[in-house]
Structure 1
């Protein structure tokens, strides 16, 4: 399914409105908890001006942007780790995601009741953090007990399990940067919630972002209701409005993209010019596999020119004539902005 960003938050903070604006889907929205029971999933285009610039040179019939997937997960409530609200169902959904988009409410609206009775985004962040931490504590404690009784091979991750658990217990949850590569590899199968990268989204109206939120990063401020209204406009009006007002959705998509450690490469084969997503550090065969599994299996080479070079020319043909397209082998690491044609034989 690829990398997924999970939208989480307390009930009635605007999660489903944000999801609908992002994906132009139609997730249910209502002024009561748990409207979103089964998570909704949608693909979101990643804004990239380079794709439009390539289109002016290549003149394809079809332009396809890179996308990342978003999941709209049911609202979390205090004591979810004890089974309150949707409890374990919520937690199982969030374990499946690669990045957490944590939505907190700043807007005031007497028609939309806040589950805690008042608007306080810092408190809401703390509630969510505590619930995720409690869930991890319970899981890791259980795992540690099992590992102690197991054989030597199954105990190899016991030390790092206890390290992560003890940090949560001390109120200082670890992040990925706090662990070695070997420790991260051992923890990967456990899908620890507090180790997942987080983007904080402040859903605001006219309100200014309070100073107390300055310690939470990365943070994106937007108005999900306004973004939803813009998303429903005809395409030309939508583009014009967002170019004038700026787009919180674009900032959010780009922030998630960067935090997931993703880069974009382009293909210009046939009638389609397309942007593809791949993890930073990936090599040519892996990138070829993104386009088609046969390309990875039968990979021969990659013909590469960077966007910054191609944009100065009139066509791919001119790039070939000038000898600017280079041939790269299996060990070539894809760079953000590479324009690639893969040679393969199956």
Structure 2
């Protein structure tokens, strides 16, 4: 199953422009109201520079990168427009588009444009983040309170498990009423088990995607790198746009979230150009790659994901697993039966394979090895699975 990232933000924040830059889907760009439940859905191939060299060597019938699904949902903003006392939250159909997302990409607008109105009239990405968080917590609060009502009714049977559930739900309710994100709470195993059933939004890993003006793109990325590294930043010399970016980046660093800066409209345009032309323009801005590619990479770091590879004459393919996964789990990504019948894996790292040019040469050099069930897969491993006969 592909990684799924839900793209959320206020209307006119650039969500759909980012979606188009990522997916090349050409979704229509027009601000739609918070009551609209329309969603754009697209699949993106994850850029991986290791696939082409392997394809050049093996000349396979096909080359298959791993993928990410992006879901661009309607513009939020009830909390921004109705205040924190508004209790409806997001409706069920809206939630249906993002409740199963593995992570959220929160798009925050920092660019000014008189032709593109802002729901709050002024540009302030940190304020917008606070408003979005308020709406997410209101939505989660409604979910928790509905579950609390059901559990309270069920507890009348005398079953003690419901009383424990009520205690947990009341703790969550109290936190959400104070507009705290569930992901910031210290939760034990019983709480974690219950959360899997609730599909709360404020527990999902998140990245902040700052949609910046084209002219500020290079400076914004340099600023994000400094803040991520813990370097001091003299905000007195920054433009208003960069000050807003710095504030969001500092918030992201304090809570362990990831952040990226893109110019979504620019990159949507570049995504329609031939790759060489787009790359040349990016280099003129001092940027190594499309922001869309950076968003995918940030998503992988956010979710602690790595990529392993399989290679042969039939197919060269990339696969995604969680960092720390053992060899049988990786085998299960290729086919579920392989995890159950796993015996061992033949493993060589991509860098060693490219250095020596073939499996045979790698074996001679002693870098092609057999690993058992306890082997922890590393990013860039090329694996061949040995398994027993299935039932």
Give 1:216's match in structure 2, choosing from 238, 251, 258.
Answer: 251
Please name the residue that 1:130 is paired with: 134
How big is the shift at 1:6? 0.2
1:5-51 deviation per Cα after TM superposition (whole angstroms, max 9, x unaligned): 10001111111111011011122212443697432222223333333
> Using a 3 Å threshold, how does the CA distance of structure 1 residues 177 and 293 change in structure 2: closer, same or farther?
same
CA-based RMSD: 2.6
1:255 match: secondary structure: helix
Asked if the contact 1:12–1:33 (Cα under 8 Å) also holds between the matched residues in 2, the reply is: no
Tell me which of 144, 147, 150 is aligned to 2:148: 144
SS at match of 1:209: helix
Matched with 1:227 is 267
Shift, 1:75, TM fit = 0.9
Indicate conservation of the 8 Å contact 2:2/2:67, yes or no.
Answer: no
The correspondence for 2:111, drawn from 93, 107, 124, is 107
Deviates more, 1:306-315 or 1:120-129: 306-315
Runs of 4+ in 1 over 6 A off after TM superposition: none
| Cα distance change of structure 1 residues 8 and 230 upon mapping to structure 2, 3 Å threshold | same
Distance 1:107 1:117 in 2: 12
SS of the residue corresponding to residue 346 of structure 2 reads strand
What's the TM-score once normalised by structure 2's chain length? 0.79
Q: Is the 8 A contact 1:29 1:35 kept in 2?
A: no
Cα offsets for 1:123-144 (capped at 9, x unmatched)? 2111110001111112212322
Deviation at 1:309, TM superposition (A): 2.6
How many residues of Structure 1 are paired with residues of Structure 2 in the alignment? 345
How far did 1:339 drift? 0.8
Cα distance, 1:173 vs structure 2: 2.3
Q: 1:51–1:240: structure 2 CA closer, same or farther, 3 Å change rule?
A: farther
Contact 1:58 1:315 survives alignment (8 Å): no
Q: How does 1:4-153 map to 2 (within 5 A)?
A: 4-33=4-33, 37-55=37-55, 57-60=57-60, 62-79=62-79, 82-83=87-88, 87-149=91-153, 150=155, 151-153=159-161
1:161 is paired with a residue whose SS is helix
In structure 1, distance between residues paired with 2:297 and 2:197:
27
TM value normalised by structure 1: 0.89
Indicate if the aligned counterparts of 1:58 and 1:316 stay in contact, CA closer than 8 A. no
Runs (5+) with no aligned partner, structure 2: 217-240, 253-257
Cα separation, partners in 2 of 1:57 and 1:181, compared to 1, 3 Å: farther
Helix, strand or coil for the counterpart of 1:179?
coil
Cα 1:182–1:334 change in 2 (3 A) is farther
Aligned equivalents of 2:13, 2:357: Cα separation in 1? 49
After superposing the two structures, state which structure 1 stretch, 210-219 or 176-185, moved more: 176-185
1:36–1:72 CA contact under 8 A, matched in 2: no
